[in-house]
């Protein structure tokens, strides 16, 4: 628009672009003072200061229209805008590209007649062609950006970044990269039982209502969701294990708030378990040329999943491995109880697992009595860890006595109850 003002000899330039079945005024520039306003998106039909009969004819006939003295001669001298402004020199040029009309450029000069002669018309037509090409390029770029955003809802943009790809169109089968990350698995307790009470639509609405709360929390803490596995969420945190731990605590707080909202409708609280582990991951694409998907292949992923399984067994809210705990900065204060070296499914060697105690989540995962629950867990922490140490040393009688003492003071301690059950089973 600035170039047109500088080269066309116009006092005013208006850009009208097609938008579906209507035309919109998208930009306007004036030579005095030199100013261009863009992205106005004003409907052409609502314009009070454009000669609509001129613009509409050029849009319809798709050829330039030059008026040496619009108010003095020609078929448009009776147009209300032409008459009111006493318009003199006018040029209206269609913007076409491959027989498609993108819009029109309207120019006027009210100081003199016959401003837009053949030489200027030739210059303006060249500029109009460049303008049409630029508009089409911008449209294509915007469409590509929209497609990338849409694909980002299915394949995380972070995946493309790690693979060194700018666009989903650049991804190749077999692209892969090794990264150290923290994996978080979150799973709804007894989702099958919940869904049995609901219609299929209600199940989808319930699950999406929960997931709409989890996704933003993951992103807020510098993570991204790799995939949904039924009612389970697998999220990756490239920066630090601290991000994953903070996200886990925030998710449990959000679930507690969600349960308060749902309480009037469904008395059964939603409970989730979260498992966290840090390790090396291989991110890449698998499949074949006609059907591929992004995925993460690593023992670290499997271990995070198994740690989440342990939260079901022990009835706790959040469990993490020692690898993640070691990643936490000294400034981050968290309270954990060691569950010792536990045998997890699919692993030949035991894994050191810890329970993260959170005042806003608690072992129940529904937020009820959470503060009191943490206070009781802190009060019994020494006896609990004595019991864990005795249990893993094979001194089951001493361990059972320690866990029984914990449960006398805190009957709701599901982790101590599970250890006591294992002690009695031998």
All domains in the chain, ordered by first residue: 2-151 (3.30.450.40), 178-369 (3.30.70.1230), 380-426 (no CATH)
pLDDT in tens, 163-199: 777 666 667 777 777 889 999 999 998 887 777 888 8
Contact 322, 341 (CB under 8 A): no
Q: What is the mean pLDDT of residues 37-63?
A: 88
C-alpha angle 173-175-177 in degrees, rounded to nearest 5: 155
- Distance in angstroms (rounded) separating the CA atoms of residues 93 and 116: 12
pLDDT in tens, 105-122: 999 998 899 999 888 888
Contact 168, 155 (CB under 8 A): yes
| DSSP reduced 3-state for 158 | helix
- Distance in angstroms (rounded) separating the CA atoms of residues 382 and 405: 11
Average pLDDT over all residues of the chain: 85
Question: Residue 67: beta bridge partners?
Answer: 90
Kindly state the tokens that stand for 328. Answer: 């936490």
Q: Tell if the pTM clears 0.85, that is, is over it.
A: no
User: Which DSSP symbol is given to 411?
Assistant: T
- Matching residue, tokens 């004819």: 57
Contact 121, 66 (CB under 8 A): yes
Residue 365: its pLDDT value, please?
A: 41
| DSSP reduced 3-state for 154 | coil
pLDDT band with cut points at 50, 70 and 90 for residue 368 = very low
- Distance in angstroms (rounded) separating the CA atoms of residues 20 and 25: 13
- Spatial neighbors of 390 by CB under 8 A, at least 6 apart, are 396, 398, 399, 402
Residue 419: its pLDDT value, please?
A: 92
User: Strands 176-188, 232-237: parallel, antiparallel or unpaired by DSSP?
Assistant: antiparallel
pLDDT in tens, 308-330: 999 999 999 999 999 999 989 98
- Spatial neighbors of 118 by CB under 8 A, at least 6 apart, are none
pLDDT in tens, 287-309: 777 777 777 778 888 999 999 99
pLDDT in tens, 60-86: 999 999 999 998 888 898 888 888 888
């Amino acid at each position: 628009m600035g170039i047109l003002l500088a080269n066309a000899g116009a006092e005013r330039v208006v850009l009208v672009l097609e938008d579906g079945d209507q035309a919109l005024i998208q930009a306007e520039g004036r030579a005095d003072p030199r100013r261009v306003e863009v992205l106005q998106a004003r409907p052409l039909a609502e314009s009070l200061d454009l000669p609509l009969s001129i613009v509409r004819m050029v849009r319809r006939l798709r050829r330039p229209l030059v008026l040496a003295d619009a108010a003095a001669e020609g078929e448009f001298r009776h147009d209300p805008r032409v008459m009111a402004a006493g318009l003199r020199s006018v040029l209206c040029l269609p913007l076409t590209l491959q027989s498609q009309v993108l819009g029109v450029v309207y120019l006027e000069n009210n100081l003199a007649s016959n401003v837009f002669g053949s030489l200027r018309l030739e210059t303006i037509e060249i500029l109009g062609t460049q303008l049409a090409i630029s508009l089409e390029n911008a449209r294509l770029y915007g469409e590509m950006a929209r497609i990338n955003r849409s694909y980002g809802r299915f394949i995380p943009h972070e995946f493309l970044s790690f693979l060194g790809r700018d666009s989903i169109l650049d991804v190749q089968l077999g692209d892969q990269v090794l990264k150290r990350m923290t994996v978080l698995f979150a799973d709804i307790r007894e989702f099958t039982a919940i869904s049995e009470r609901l219609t299929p639509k209600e199940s989808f609405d319930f699950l999406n209502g929960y997931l709409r709360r989890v996704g933003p929390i993951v992103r807020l803490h510098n993570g991204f969701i790799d995939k949904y596995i039924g009612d389970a969420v697998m999220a990756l945190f490239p920066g630090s294990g601290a991000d994953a731990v903070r996200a886990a605590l925030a998710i449990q707080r959000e679930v507690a708030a969600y349960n308060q909202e749902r309480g009037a409708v469904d008395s059964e609280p939603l409970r989730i378990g979260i498992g966290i582990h840090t390790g090396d991951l291989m991110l890449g694409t698998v499949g074949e040329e006609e059907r591929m998907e992004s995925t993460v292949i690593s023992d670290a992923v499997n271990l995070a999943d198994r740690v989440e399984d342990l939260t079901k067994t022990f009835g706790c809210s959040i469990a993490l491995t020692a690898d993640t705990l070691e990643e936490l900065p000294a400034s981050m204060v968290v309270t954990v109880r060691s569950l010792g070296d536990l045998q997890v499914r699919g692993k030949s060697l035991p894994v050191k697992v810890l329970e993260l105690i959170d005042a806003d989540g608690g072992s129940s995962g529904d937020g009820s009595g959470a503060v009191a629950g943490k206070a009781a867990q802190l009060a019994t922490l020494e006896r609990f860890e004595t019991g864990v140490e005795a249990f893993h040393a094979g001194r089951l009688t001493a361990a059972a006595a320690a866990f029984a003492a914990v449960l006398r003071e805190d009957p709701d301690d599901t982790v101590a109850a599970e250890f006591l059950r294992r002690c009695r089973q031998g």
